[in-house]
């Protein structure tokens, strides 16, 4: 048994090392292929043109040009991003974009409201999942499509929607020319009468939220998602908490957990699928309970995740529409990676098909896969 665990550990370490080498090589390749800055770099090469079938955005009133609003996290974007975004819109025949920068105190809420009030054709969240969430929250049930330019560390929603990473201009082109599809969002309340919050990927109570809250930002800038691995290793050992879970109208179930995660979709970094089979448009909230008692149990958890098991060793996934979790003591909580303090109550409910999101159609995906476009600003971020 012990030998098996050691073999698993070695395999995982090799996997992580290969992953780091792969990421580093990819970044080097992208940088090497980038031309320098200056005049030539300021105008991205005109694309071959969108597939007419991909032009799903409704035409504006006669004579009017389409316009995008971009809610931009300036901390995450390359210095030339504004010029780059304007050039992409021009080449697509769209009006000058309305670019609104987020602030430390407001990661996107007021900016998305301003974008909606301006009557734009698409609202693009340019940043990490922490920017996408407040922007999407304002777009739910409006029918105005959400575009995503992933500039963060995790970019989990972009990964789940197969939006191109590390190529902001192409992600923006996807936001302009892509196809509109409806996806689910989930609502969360952190107290019985509490404010409604929207999340798009996962909300968590316990271990994972504690990891998010304790991740070193400076390290995150340097090594990306591996900073979460570092924080996670410091939090592995700890006591399980007693919680009661009520799925839909069923009887409450009492159990001990390290973490409870409610997921709208399941892909995370490194190609792992934390919630196998979970999709953004299946109308299902998948609830993962993680309940290891000790370090050895964590190997079972890892094996279950790697093995894509819905009911594994110290893990269990329950599909539902709504879950109410009540804990004996307060635990840390996170929504799409944003630490939201501590709570002893978390209610989560799926809201099917309530958000329109713009993703790459087949023709656009083919061009992105071909990867034969220039990288005008020498900028990669994935
Ligand atoms: Mg789902």
- pLDDT on residue 3: 34
CB of 319 closer than 8 Å to CB of 284: yes
> What's the 243 CA to ligand 1 centre distance in angstroms?
23
- In this prediction, residues 210-234 reach a mean pLDDT of 78
Helix (H, G, I), strand (E, B) or coil at 206: strand
Residue-wise pLDDT for 130-166, tens only, equals 999 999 999 999 999 999 999 998 899 999 999 999 9
* Alpha-carbon radius of gyration of the chain: 21
pLDDT: is 219 or 345 the higher one?
A: 345
Tell me, what's the pLDDT at 48? 43
Q: Taking residues 313-324, what's their average pLDDT? A: 95
Q: List Cβ neighbours of 349 (8 Å cut-off, separation of 6 or more).
A: 186, 187, 285, 321, 322, 323
Same domain, 210 and 163: no
Residue 379 inside a domain? The answer is: no
Nearest CA to 67 among 47, 83, 86, 84? 86
- Say whether both 222 and 293 belong to one domain: yes
Residue 142 CA, ligand 1 centroid: distance in Å: 20
Same domain, 274 and 338: yes
161 lies in the same domain as 256: no
Residue 375 resides in a domain:
no
Based on the domain organization, do 283 and 329 belong to the same domain?
Answer: yes
- 168-187 tens-digit pLDDT: 999 999 999 999 999 999 99
Task: Please write the tens of the pLDDT for every residue from 265-303.
Answer: 998 887 888 999 999 999 999 999 999 988 888 888 888
Q: Please give the distance, rounded to the nearest whole angstrom, from the Cα atom of residue 275 to the centre of ligand 1.
A: 9
Q: 191 and 317 share a domain?
A: yes
DSSP H helical segments within the chain, as ranges?
Answer: 2-32, 39-42, 81-91, 109-117, 129-139, 156-160, 168-177, 207-214, 217-223, 226-235, 295-306, 362-370
Q: Taking 60 as the threshold, does the pLDDT of residue 30 lie above it?
A: no
> From ligand 1's centre to the CA of 159, what distance in Å?
14
Q: Is the pLDDT of residue 114 over 60?
A: yes
Cα(3) to ligand 1 centroid in Å equals 37
Q: What's the structural domain count of the chain?
A: 2
Cα(371) to ligand 1 centroid in Å equals 30
Same domain, 121 and 264: no
Whether 377 maps to a domain, the answer reads no
Distance (angstroms) between ligand 1 centre and the Cα of 74 equals 31
Ligand 1: distance of its center to the CA of 284 in Å?
Answer: 4
Over 50: is that where the pLDDT of 8 sits? no
Residue 63 binned pLDDT confidence (cut-offs 50, 70, 90): low
87-91, 125-129, 289-293, 299-303, range with greatest mean pLDDT: 125-129
Higher pLDDT, 138 or 92: 138
Q: Ligand 1 centroid to 94 CA: how many Å?
A: 33
Please check whether residues 342 and 365 belong to one and the same domain.
no
Confidence class for position 372, pLDDT limits 50, 70, 90: low
Average pLDDT (88-111) is 95
Residue 192 in 3-state DSSP? coil
% of the chain with per-residue pLDDT over 90: 57
Domain extent, residue 255, equals: 186-352
The pLDDT value given to residue 36 = 32
Residue 364 has pLDDT above 90, yes or no: no
| Average pLDDT of the segment spanning 15-38 | 39
pTM here is: 0.80
Output the DSSP codes for 247-307.
ETTSPPEEEEESEEEEES--B-GGG-BSSTT--TTSS-EEEEEE---SHHHHHHHHHHHHT
- The alpha carbon of 248 and the centre of ligand 1 are apart by a number of angstroms equal to 15
Average pLDDT over residues 227-240: 80
Asked if residue 123 and residue 190 are part of one domain, the reply reads no
The C-alpha atoms of residue 144 and residue 77 are separated, in whole angstroms, by: 24
In terms of domains, do 208 and 295 share one? yes
CB contact at 8 A, 346 and 203: yes
| pLDDT (0 to 100) of residue 88 | 92
CA of 71 to the centre of ligand 1 (A): 26
| pLDDT higher than 80, residue 108 | yes
Q: pLDDT value at position 366?
A: 84
> How many A from CA of 315 to the centre of ligand 1?
18
Indicate if 150 and 243 belong to the same structural domain: no
> Are 263 and 204 contacting, i.e. CB atoms less than 8 angstroms apart?
no
Q: How far is the CA of 157 from the centre of ligand 1 (A)?
A: 12
Confidence (pLDDT) at 349: 98
289 alpha carbon to ligand 1 midpoint, in Å?
Answer: 16
Ligand 1 centroid – CA 185 distance (Å): 8
Question: How many angstroms does the Cα of residue 47 sit away from the middle of ligand 1?
Answer: 34
Distance 318 CA to ligand 1 centre (A): 11
Residue 146 lies in a domain: yes
Assigned domain for 6 exists: no
341 has a pLDDT exceeding 60: yes
Q: Tell how far the Cα of 79 is from the centroid of ligand 1, in angstroms.
A: 36
Region 225-237: mean pLDDT is 79
**Cβ(284)–Cβ(353) below 8 Å:** no
Instruction: Calculate how far, in angstroms, residue 181's C-alpha sits from the geometric centre of ligand 1.
Output: 14
Please give the distance, rounded to the nearest whole angstrom, from the Cα atom of residue 158 to the centre of ligand 1.
Answer: 15
Residues in CB range of 300: below 8 A, 6 or more apart: 292, 312, 313, 314, 315
């Amino acid at each position: 048994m012990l030998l098996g665990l050691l073999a698993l550990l070695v395999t995982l370490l090799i996997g992580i090392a290969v992953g780091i080498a792969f990421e580093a090589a990819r970044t080097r390749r992208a940088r090497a292929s980038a031309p320098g800055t200056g005049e030539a770099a300021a105008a991205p090469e005109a694309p071959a043109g969108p597939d007419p079938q991909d032009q799903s955005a409704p035409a504006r009133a006669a004579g009017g040009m389409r316009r995008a609003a971009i809610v931009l996290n300036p901390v995450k974007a390359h210095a030339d991003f504004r010029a780059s975004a304007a050039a992409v819109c021009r080449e697509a025949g769209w009006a000058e974009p309305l670019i609104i920068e987020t602030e430390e105190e407001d990661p996107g809420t007021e900016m998305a409201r301003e974008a909606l009030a301006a009557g734009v054709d698409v609202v693009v969240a340019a940043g990490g999942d922490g920017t996408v969430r407040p922007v999407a929250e304002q777009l739910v049930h409006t029918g105005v499509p959400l575009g995503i330019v992933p500039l963060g560390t995790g970019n989990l929603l972009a990964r789940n929607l197969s939006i191109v990473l590390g190529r902001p201009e192409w992600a923006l082109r996807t936001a302009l020319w892509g196809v509109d599809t409806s996806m689910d969002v989930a609502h969360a309340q952190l107290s019985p009468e509490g404010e409604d919050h929207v999340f798009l990927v996962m909300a968590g109570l316990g271990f994972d939220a504690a990891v998010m809250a304790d991740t070193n930002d400076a390290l995150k800038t340097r090594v990306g998602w591996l900073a979460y691995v570092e924080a996670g290793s410091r939090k592995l050992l700890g006591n399980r908490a007693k919680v009661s879970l009520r799925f839909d109208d069923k009887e409450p179930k009492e159990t001990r957990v390290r973490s409870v995660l409610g997921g709208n979709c399941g892909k995370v970094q490194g190609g792992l699928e934390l919630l196998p089979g979970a999709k953004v448009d299946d109308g299902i909230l998948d609830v993962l309970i993680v309940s290891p008692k000790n370090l050895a149990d964590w190997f079972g958890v890892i094996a279950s995740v790697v093995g894509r098991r819905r009911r594994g060793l110290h893990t269990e996934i329950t599909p539902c529409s709504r879950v109410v979790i009540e804990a004996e003591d307060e635990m840390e909580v996170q929504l799409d990676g944003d630490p939201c303090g501590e709570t002893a109550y978390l209610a989560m409910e799926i809201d099917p098909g309530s958000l329109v999101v713009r993703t790459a159609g087949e023709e656009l995906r083919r061009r992105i896969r071909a990867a034969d476009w220039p990288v005008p600003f020498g900028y990669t971020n994935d």
